Structure 1
Amino acid sequence: MKKNVFLFLFIAITMVGNAQTKTVTSDNQVWLGYLNQTRITDKWGIWADFHLRTKEDFFDNFSQSIARVGATYYLNDEAKLTAGYAYITNYPAEGHKNISQPEHRPWQQIQWHNKYPNVRLMQWFRLEEKFRRKILNDDELADGYNFNFKLRYNFFAQFPLSKKRFQPNTLSFVVNNEVHVNFGKKIVYNYFDQNRFFLGFAYHVNKHDNLQFGYMNLFQQLPAGNKYKSNNVARVFYFHNLDLRKNKTK
């Protein structure tokens, strides 16, 4: 009898969950980014990246800006550990229409590269601790912060489109996918946060720097659980890599 009751409750809960209307909204955005990695010694370097994102109709209002810095420890030339801090501004939106919402985000990351004649690969795992300021109403921030963790996995592949293979003034084809997962006490309905899938090109300015541009689809599950975003994004990032070592091994 107890088994039948539990089975009935399980079926009822499942039917209620499936009965919820799932809504998907879509916006057209532009994401601009500058990303710098500077190697100072064989073992140490610094990380800095800055982003500005529009809200809708490609050029209408801003949605978010990010300033992120970190210190990098090189395990070797292919693998490195980074820890740092990011400050995020979430510009006026639903729930805080007349004010911007600040966010503090410490982060830790392991990143590694694989280079082959016809492909370059990069992957990272990043852990973030998100402290987002509480909202009182459309016009006021409340005291305190909401907190949760976010885990990100990023896969990047680059294929040369020239026989010169990644040399200056050549193009390569880029495929990039990044998955975000939330966890923590405040996360109830959206453990899956978002997926960013990018297709585009990289123009190699020199042997180390490149300008990437193309299309990204941002698919995101919102905290309510039954609301999603599927945004079309024109993404333009400049990757700036410096090596300040006096005696370079490469």
Structure 2
Amino acid sequence: MLFAFSSFGQTLKKNFIKQSLSTAAYSANFEFSPKWSLSAEIQERIFLEPVRQSQIFLKSQVNFSLLKDLSLGNGFAYYLNSPGDQEFASSFKVPEIRLNHELAYRHQLKHLNIGHRYRMEERFIRKRLDDSLIHGYRFIERLSYMVSLECNLIRSKNKVHDLNLKVSDGIYINSNGGIIYNTFDQNRFYAGLNYQLIRNLSVELGYINLFQQRSSGEEYLNRNIASLAINHRIKMHARN
């Protein structure tokens, strides 16, 4: 697992907070041509102890296949985030607008499909004072690298009911000058099984471990997340 963090000030007392969550998502990928596509996703994340909403977001991204295994993407997302602390009312949400720019590369190694994703995010997070939103946004620039592995476990006729194992690990770094303690933002590990229900629709069950340093530098979140995702591929051009 990729793992790194910056230690600014050796006197900071570290506090590790464990949380259990579940997430459900639906994503659709609209293929306009062999080179151009638009992906869209809606996802909700729920705290389990006690049960309350953690996050909900809508995001979309335009993708362009520069080469067969190399693609570029630009995206926009809108988030509503709960601070995650018990003292805040479950209805209190912090809006965030997020832009992202990424480069993705895939290659085959025997039976493994290996992916590399490099991403820059421009995050505009609504300012707040305690449990109230105030005017303006704070800006955070975040860089990330993710490596992913995909392996076919069961290959069916015409690939209609394939079963695939997916594993990924990513590290996220805050890069703008206003960050003091948490240059390291988070490490995100994922493992899941993807089953092809029909030719253009699959369901995926997975597990996410998210280890994140908060902006204070003293607190670290260790989140164990169960995930369910439905992936829909919509081809809008003639087959080759």
TM-score computed with the length of structure 2 as normaliser: 0.86
Cα distance in structure 1, aligned partners of 2:74 and 2:193: 29
Structure 1 residues 113-156: Cα deviation after superposition (integer angstroms, max 9, x where no partner): 33466222232111110000000231x21111110101122222
**Corresponding position of 1:231:** 223
Match of 2:28, as an amino acid? N
Change (3 A) 1:197 1:190: same
Cα distance in structure 1, aligned partners of 2:139 and 2:86: 17
The answer to whether structure 1 residue 195 and structure 2 residue 183 are counterparts is: no
The answer to whether structure 1 residue 87 and structure 2 residue 51 are counterparts is: no
Q: Offset at 1:17?
A: 2.9
User: Which protein has the bigger strand share?
Assistant: 2
Cα distance in structure 1, aligned partners of 2:231 and 2:127: 34
Cα distance in structure 2, aligned partners of 1:193 and 1:166: 42
Contact 1:167 1:206 in 2 (8 A): no
Q: Report matched runs for 1:1-250 at 5 Å.
A: 17-57=9-49, 60-91=51-82, 93-94=84-85, 97-98=88-89, 99-115=92-108, 118-138=111-131, 140-162=132-154, 164=156, 167-207=159-199, 209-246=201-238, 248-249=239-240
Cα distance in structure 2, aligned partners of 1:193 and 1:212: 26
User: Which protein has the bigger helix share?
Assistant: 1
Please provide the CA RMSD for this pair. Answer: 2.4
Secondary structure (helix, strand or coil) at the match of 1:187 reads: coil
Change (3 A) 1:120 1:242: farther
Q: Offset at 1:168?
A: 2.4
Match of 1:226, as an amino acid? E
Unaligned runs of 5+ in 2: 1-6
Q: Percent identity?
A: 26
Unaligned runs of 5+ in 1: 1-13
Cα distance in structure 2, aligned partners of 1:237 and 1:166: 23
Match of 1:181, as an amino acid? I
Cα distance in structure 1, aligned partners of 2:76 and 2:87: 24
Q: Which has the higher contact order (CA 8 A, sep 6+)?
A: 2
**Corresponding position of 1:9:** none
Q: Offset at 1:203?
A: 1.0
Secondary structure (helix, strand or coil) at the match of 2:88 reads: coil
Change (3 A) 1:200 1:93: closer
Contact 2:12 2:217 in 1 (8 A): no
Cα distance in structure 2, aligned partners of 1:206 and 1:69: 24
TM-score computed with the length of structure 1 as normaliser: 0.83
Secondary structure (helix, strand or coil) at the match of 1:224 reads: coil
Change (3 A) 1:237 1:152: farther
Change (3 A) 1:195 1:32: same
Change (3 A) 1:214 1:93: closer
Change (3 A) 1:123 1:243: farther
Change (3 A) 1:116 1:93: closer
